[in-house]
Amino acid sequence: MSADCPTIRFTVNGQDVAVETLPMKRLLDVLREDLHLTGTKEGCGEGECGSCSVRMNGELVNSCLVPVLQAEGACIQTVEGLAINGELHPLQKAFLQCGGAQCGICTPGMLMAATQLLAINPHPSLPEIREGLAGNLCRCTGFTRIFESVIAAAAAETHNLLDQADHAR
Ligand code: FES
Ligand code: FES
C-alpha cells in the first residue's frame, strides 16, 4: 500500500473487495475501471442525470459524486447485483417486457432508483414513482414506459408473494 493509494475496503453485491487507489477517485470509476463492473454508466458526470446511480448502505447515490474514500466499509449494490443465479430481477424483466429500456444509458440507474423505491415502498402510486425516479433522466422513452415497467414489477412481486403463500399452505 502506498501513502497516495491506500487500500479501500467495501462490499459490492455481497462480495468483499479491496482496492488500492487514490482516495478521491470517483466510486463510478472504481466500479468500472478497477472492479470491471461496467453496468453502471456515466451520463453527465455532474450529479444531474442519475445514470451512475448505485445503492450505498441502502441509499441511492450518484456514484459520479462519491469519492471512493466515502465507500470505506460500505455495502454497495450495482445493477450487476440485481439478477440472482442468472435469473433477472422482476424490475429487469418488466423493463424488457414494457419497453422501459431503449438506448440503455439511463437504464442501470433507473433500475437502481426503482429498486430503492420498491425497497421502501413496494406499492408506489404513479406520482410516487415519478418522484422516486425524479433524479434519473431518460432521453429515449418519454418516461411512460419506464413508469409502466415499475408498476408491472411491483405487481409481479405481489403476484410472486401470493404464489409463495399459496405454496406454503
Ligand atoms: S453521471 Fe452521475 S449523475 Fe450523471
Ligand atoms: S433508454 Fe436511452 S436515455 Fe433512457
Of 56, 48, 72, 71, nearest to 134 by C-alpha is 48
**Mean per-residue pLDDT of the chain:** 94
C-alpha cell at 137: 433522466
Residue minimizing CA distance to atom 2 of ligand 2: 103
Q: Does residue 110's CB lie within 6 angstroms of at least one atom of ligand 2?
A: no
For residues 107 and 87, give the distance between their C-alpha atoms in angstroms, rounded to a whole number: 18
pLDDT at 168: 60
The predicted model gives 97-126 an average pLDDT of 96
111: pLDDT strictly greater than 70: yes
Decide: 69 and 106 in contact? Cβ < 8 Å: no
- Residue 62: DSSP 8-state: E
pLDDT digits (tens, 9 = 90+) for 30-64: 999 999 999 999 999 999 999 999 999 999 999 99
pLDDT at 1: 59
122: pLDDT strictly greater than 60: yes
Q: Which of 27, 41, 52 best tests ligand 1's pocket when mutated (most atoms within 8 Å of CB)? A: 52
161: pLDDT strictly greater than 80: no
pLDDT at 157: 76
Cα(161) to centroid(ligand 1), Å: 34
Question: Residue 67 phi/psi, 5° resolution?
Answer: -65, 140
Q: Does residue 139's CB lie within 6 angstroms of at least one atom of ligand 2?
A: yes
pLDDT at 77: 98
Residue 4 confidence class, pLDDT cut points 50, 70, 90:
confident
For residues 80 and 77, give the distance between their C-alpha atoms in angstroms, rounded to a whole number: 8
For residues 112 and 22, give the distance between their C-alpha atoms in angstroms, rounded to a whole number: 26
Half-sphere exposure of residue 140: CA atoms within 13 angstroms, side-chain side? 12
Proximal ligand: closest to the CA of 137: 2
Question: Residues 111, 117, 121, CA angle at the centre, nearest 5°?
Answer: 145
For residues 169 and 164, give the distance between their C-alpha atoms in angstroms, rounded to a whole number: 9
